[in-house]
Structure 1
């Protein structure tokens, strides 16, 4: 089979296309024929960041994917060959990332992909959707699980609504009953956020975005799903409801400066989180996300607000470059071509 791997930390050029034997599943494992492999920022950062040491001498990247069960190991009763599935955290094991034609994974990292969902949807879930789920379930008095009506009466602000996590947060929050506001940086991204299902879209580069958000949420927003807290902190605090939550999942800036008195008055809850720190919570989130997919709430493609940008397996390096360069859409790799 064909696989892409790297043997050293570095630029996209360290990625190599190689031939490997098709792996066999062991006890509790399944083998998945990968149809679409999703690329996330964590994939290129793991490949390029010297402070993140390589876990193995050779690494096959990409956590997420959509495909079909090809074989099951001893003790696996939840899946059978031919089952359509989506996977996440694949790259956490030795040579098990989805940038290859077949991958072997613990069955616990695999979920059924409903028949109404494409493999592109499957490859777009994983890290983005589970991150969005976590951000929507960290409020002190909010739900820990998502389902229809779980967020009824809640107003959610999603910053960066045209990104993969922002897109998933819009869809999950709307599915769960929230009123969804999102900020974007221009008309093209506004159209995508609207297609994703946001009730209100605000261009933060134009006019008075705080006033626009307050016009929708007079008392303030309950939860902010935040991609760039250092840049957005003033806007977040200007629109946050008292006792509200700012859920921070990413930021390219190393520091954020906080006005302590202002946050005391708001009783602000900041929740910084790393997705991979709580595997039990991730498993529950994966079940919720699967239900949202089954309900038709998690579409991808331009018509659903997340264009698909596809590369063949041999051009995985170009796919990593596209993600590093902040391509607008979901970058995927196709191991079948």
Structure 2
């Protein structure tokens, strides 16, 4: 099979290689998926570049990158029902703590990591469900219903943020968002936010509270926890939740502990790779229900060929995109 591989950290053009590898077999409890698409995420770029704290070399001698993807089950291992053969599926955690991910013709994964993909959902969209889709669903709904609650989504023009706006709006919340630039503000508004604020505004907290008439926000979905924690502290309601899935601009943030404590704020650090089994099933169930309702619009900015994987990584690293990047296999 064709596969993109790397065996050392470095720039995408230098370390990513297209090569031919044996087709894997489905072991006990596994399915073999013929991949149609592979989703490319910022975490894939950090992993390939050696950007994870404390990691000095790749954890395996050879790695096929990417955790997300979609395709068709071609074979099943012992203990998996043969009826799954031919099923359209999307993949989660394809390359999490494993050597071989989705940037290849085939992948063998535990059966529960291949989730049925409805016929009306494209394979390109299926490649966005693993990390972005589950992160958005858990960050919005991981604490229960948000119906009639006031939710703020930080970075509403980003892939996860844009989906989070849609998830919250479709779940009955009143949604506010932050973004920047004309296109970013419009993207967040189009996703379902009632009002969108410029996140670079020095008076952001005042602007939000002025718009709400002083009503505090009950849940914040946060992409930049450290950079925004002062604003979040001012606008969060008592017993509110900050569900943070990133803090890249301040990786060692200092928190206003007592102001947060005296509001009894819950800080939920969202890492979708290690969700508990119950939380993952809940997130998959919520995501599936939203897909069945056709409530989500996936913004895909680039669909590239497998051999253009390095270009896809560079597009993600540049940060100037209006949607997900997907490889067609």
TM over 0.5: yes
Q: State yes or no: 1:60 paired with 2:67.
A: no
Q: State the alpha-carbon separation in 1 of the partners of residues 195 and 71 from structure 2.
A: 35
| 1:190 maps to which of 181, 185, 191 | 185
Partner of 1:331: 325
Partner of 2:289: 291
Partners of 1:111 and 1:287 within 8 A in 2: no
Partners of 2:96 and 2:273 within 8 A in 1: no
Partners of 2:38 and 2:326 within 8 A in 1: yes
Q: State the alpha-carbon separation in 2 of the partners of residues 235 and 81 from structure 1.
A: 50
Show the 5 A alignment for 1:66-105.
66-77=70-81, 80-92=84-96, 94-105=98-109
- Residue-by-residue CA offset, 1:242-291 (whole Å, 9 max, x unaligned): 22111111111222222333223323222223222334022331232122
- Residue-by-residue CA offset, 1:18-70 (whole Å, 9 max, x unaligned): 01122221221111121111111111111122633423210101000121222
How many residue pairs are counted as aligned between the two chains?
321
Q: State the alpha-carbon separation in 2 of the partners of residues 250 and 78 from structure 1.
A: 40
Partner of 1:268: 265
Q: State the alpha-carbon separation in 2 of the partners of residues 79 and 226 from structure 1.
A: 41
Q: TM-score, normalised by structure 1?
A: 0.89
Q: TM-score, normalised by structure 2?
A: 0.91
Show the 5 A alignment for 1:66-215.
66-77=70-81, 80-92=84-96, 94-138=98-142, 142-143=143-144, 150-206=145-201, 208-214=203-209, 215=211
| 2:219 maps to which of 194, 218, 223 | 223
Partners of 1:7 and 1:58 within 8 A in 2: yes
Partners of 1:112 and 1:290 within 8 A in 2: no
**Larger displacement relative to structure 2 (205-214 or 276-285):** 205-214
Partner of 1:4: 4
Q: State the alpha-carbon separation in 2 of the partners of residues 307 and 191 from structure 1.
A: 16
CA shift, 1:170, in A, is: 1.3
Partners of 1:162 and 1:190 within 8 A in 2: yes
Partners of 2:76 and 2:82 within 8 A in 1: no
What are the ranges of 5 or more consecutive residues in structure 2 without an aligned counterpart? none
CA shift, 1:81, in A, is: 2.5
**Larger displacement relative to structure 2 (250-259 or 275-284):** 275-284
CA shift, 1:157, in A, is: 0.6
Q: State the alpha-carbon separation in 1 of the partners of residues 84 and 319 from structure 2.
A: 38
Partner of 2:314: 321
Q: State the alpha-carbon separation in 1 of the partners of residues 314 and 197 from structure 2.
A: 29
- Residue-by-residue CA offset, 1:105-129 (whole Å, 9 max, x unaligned): 1111011111121112111111112
- Residue-by-residue CA offset, 1:87-144 (whole Å, 9 max, x unaligned): 1100136443110111111111011111121112111111112222222245xxx41x
Q: Alpha carbon RMSD of aligned pairs, Å? A: 2.0
Distance 1:179 1:274, change over 3 A: same
CA shift, 1:206, in A, is: 4.7
CA shift, 1:226, in A, is: 0.7
Partners of 1:27 and 1:73 within 8 A in 2: yes
